[in-house]
Amino acid sequence: MRIAFLTAPEGVEQVELTEPWQAALAAGHDPVLVSTRHGEVQAFHHLDKADRFTVDEVVGDVSAESFAGLVLPGGVANPDFLRLNDKAVAFVKEFFERGRPVAAICHAPWTLVEADVVRGRELTSWPSVRTDIRNAGGTWVDEQVKICDHGTNKLVTSRKPDDLKAFCEAYLDVFEEETAGR
């Protein structure tokens, strides 16, 4: 199963990219790094630069149709950059329109807010994002992992890097279940 990992060219929290990526590989899936431009993305350990990762695909050149699901890693800057890119926002929205599962951790729900897909959904995030989620019509909960089945697709959210083990297990279970049901 091909899984899109969407990041901005700069600002993704490295562990929130690499742990879900490795979990996908370990489960025999094909993770694909999608960004807003070709080249590499610069990851961070909080505010310090970390490793760089090669972009596989660029938004605008790919469709949600070619992926089983979407993972949105966090980092404070990453979702803020993504929400300002119309093609990235449209790419995220397309997963919801096509009924594909989406997983987001930490600050990543900011991109979901921008895509106007949180209304009527329950989700979790880094605590500072809760007001934005509520203002966008979602219900914020303080849980390690929240799986929301809105009827059109499933959304898996998590709060922070400490929740990564549970997040990875949950998103892989949901993506595999949703793919088997198609």
Of 126, 112, 133, the residue nearest 167 (C-alpha): 126
Rounded to whole angstroms, how far apart are CA atoms 89 and 139?
21
Q: Is 46 a catalytic residue?
A: no
Catalytic residue (choose from 107, 148, 150, 168): 107
Q: Is 150 a catalytic residue?
A: no
Catalytic residue (choose from 29, 38, 106, 168): 106
Q: CB–CB of 133/111 below 8 Å?
A: no
Catalytic residues: 106-107
